[in-house]
Structure 1
Amino acid sequence: MASPKLFLLLISVIISMAITSTPAAAANGRIHLIMVNNCAESVWPAMLGTTGHATPQSGGFHLGPGEETTFDVPVGWSGRVWPRRGCSFDARGMGKCATGDCGGVLRCGGAPGATPTTVVEMTLGTPQSPMHFYDVSLVDGFNAPVSMTPVGGGRGCGVAACGADLNVCCPSALEVRDREGRVAGCRSACLAMGSDKYCCTGEYGTPAACKPTIFSHLFKAICPRAYSYAFDDASSLNRCKANRYLITFCPPQP
């Protein structure tokens, strides 16, 4: 039988290993978000905290082709991220984006984005309830391929994504074109039609009453890991306990 001193030494080593193996993000109460621009052109990521949550990075910044940046958000944070494309800003940060614009400023500062935009949504857990929830949504339309991938986190952590370019196959009724006449975005059926039936509101405000439309089926067939309409939870909402997440604009295709 091990001596009491040896036993205590073993216990102290085990405790030390447990402490040092705790991810840094968990230890300091922060979650790391890594944003990567894999597109051939610049994107201007924008962020918005939901009610009661701060907006990180002043709400937006520039990310050139091949560039990446990392920043932290607090545990329990809830909000959204979306790409802006075709932007031009002056030295004061004033300008405009072809899609995803937030009032003509570089740093959105709590302003929402103009649709259509591909949206990454997340509600992060807390020490008491550590599960993080996240998704990629096409409910507000599409303007760029995006994915959100956990770094670590164990088994069962899914990838939220719409990695295909929906602008290439957007139905004409949903197209949004830029000044040069190119398809810059693809609206959702809700944005295009504006009725309760397509927006899952009013008498259609329940999963039983609001069913996917022909457009939702098209989006789902092309981007099966993204929300295609408001009640598309079963195959689109992801859960994970990872402390680092990679958000990629124009993610590599398999």
Structure 2
Amino acid sequence: MLISSYLLLTLLCVYAFLTRSNGIQLILVNNCPEHIWPGILGGAGHVTPKAGGFHLSSGEEVVVGVPEMWSGRIWGRQDCHFDDKGKGSCGTGDCSGQLHCEGMGGVPPATVVEMTLGSSTSPLHFYDVSLVDGFNLPVSMKPVGGGIGCGIAECEVDLNICCPSALEVRVGEKVIGCKSACLAMQSAKYCCTGEYGNPKTCKPTLFANLFKAICPKAYSYAFDDSSSLNKCRASRYVITFCPPK
């Protein structure tokens, strides 16, 4: 009986180790003074964990496990109100009025964390914070424990405070979001599409340069790769909403 119990415990430990080693842990932390509702969207062909969304109280953290080779995006939703069936709306980042986004992206403007993860045999993970869809709240992503050559993706400043009036999204007197130039202007030149769909023809706009000056570690426009895309081999990452400055 003792041997059987020991064998069972050993098998459980091995299983737990294999489970951890074959995936990546994303630790989502709400450092904001108010409640937020993270939204999650897996890329094409990838799973969407946590049914795509959940509530996160101020000071709370939740561990989200994702499989190897996962690709997707995470953003924060604010001022959400849902009924007992998960129906409602959010002031920013809303996904079709659902608590669980389940395959739906967030309505811009929203600060987005993007990632494309590697595997156990090729464990190089790429990640960034993007302002291409605009801004709604500060966010960062960094590896747990750091790592050689591992960068921090972040926009830790509240851009709503210094958002140009042409890009503001307001509710009453309060600025709740800051549009990107693409979202505000809706043209190929600002969105890097059509004849502007390559780095040679699409250059940063005045607004993109402003975003970059304030948040140098975040994507300010579509081809802002050199200073914004991070890579790391860590297996655990912290995504912090309203990271400490």
The TM-score, its normalising length taken from structure 2, stands at 0.91
Q: Which residue of 2 aligns with 1:92?
A: 85
Of residues 214, 228, 231, the one that matches 1:236 is 228
Q: Over aligned residue pairs, what C-alpha RMSD do you find? A: 1.5
Are 2:173 and 1:173 aligned?
A: no
The 3-state SS of whatever aligns with 1:112 is: coil
Match of 1:245 among 230, 237, 244: 237
Segments of 5+ residues of structure 2 without an aligned counterpart are: 1-12
Kept after mapping to 2: 8 A contact 1:25/1:243 = no
Q: Where does residue 108 of structure 1 map in the other structure?
A: 101
C-alpha distance in structure 1 between counterparts of 2:28 and 2:238, whole Å: 6
Partner of 1:6: none
**8 A contact 1:49–1:78 mirrored in 2:** yes
Instruction: Give 1:114 shift.
Output: 0.4
* SS of alignment partner, residue 41 of structure 1: coil
Offset from partner CA, 1:223-242 (integer Å, 9 cap, x none): 00000000000000000000
> SS of the counterpart of 1:127?
coil
1:24 positional shift = 4.7
In terms of Rg, which structure is larger?
1
- 1:56 partner letter: P
Moved more, 28-37 or 149-158: 149-158
Q: Does 1:208 align with 2:208?
A: no
Of 94-103 and 144-153, the range deviating more from structure 2 = 144-153
Partner of 2:211: 219
1:183 to 175, 181, 184: 175
Q: Which moved more, 1:235-244 or 1:148-157?
A: 148-157
AA at the equivalent of 2:118: G
CA contact (8 A) 1:153 1:240 kept: no
Structure 1 range deviating more: 23-32 or 45-54: 23-32
Q: Residue 152 of structure 1: CA displacement? A: 3.3
- 2:52 matched residue in structure 1: 59
CA change 1:72–1:142 in 2 (3 A) is: same
Query: Equivalent of 2:187, from 167, 190, 195?
Result: 195
Q: Which runs of 5+ in 1 are unaligned?
A: 1-19
Identity of aligned residues (%): 65
Code of the aligned partner of 1:195: S
Task: Give CA deviations for 1:76-98 in whole Å, capped at 9, x if unaligned.
Answer: 00000000001111111111001
- The answer (yes or no) to whether the contact 2:21–2:120 under 8 Å persists in 1 is no
Higher percent of residues as strand? 2
What is the TM-score when the length of structure 1 is the normalising length? 0.88
Q: Contact conserved, 1:25 with 1:32, CA < 8 A, in 2?
A: no
The one-letter amino acid of 1:118's match is: T
Tell me whether 1:144 sits opposite 2:123 in the alignment. no
Alignment partners' CA distance in 2, 1:219 and 1:252: 19
Checking the alignment, whether the CA contact within 8 Å between 1:26 and 1:243 is kept in structure 2 is no
* 2:34 aligned with 1:45: no
How far, CA to CA, are the matches of 1:223 and 1:247 in structure 2?
16
The structural deviation recorded for 1:127 is 2.2
Whole-Å separation in 2 of the counterparts to 1:252 and 1:153 = 17
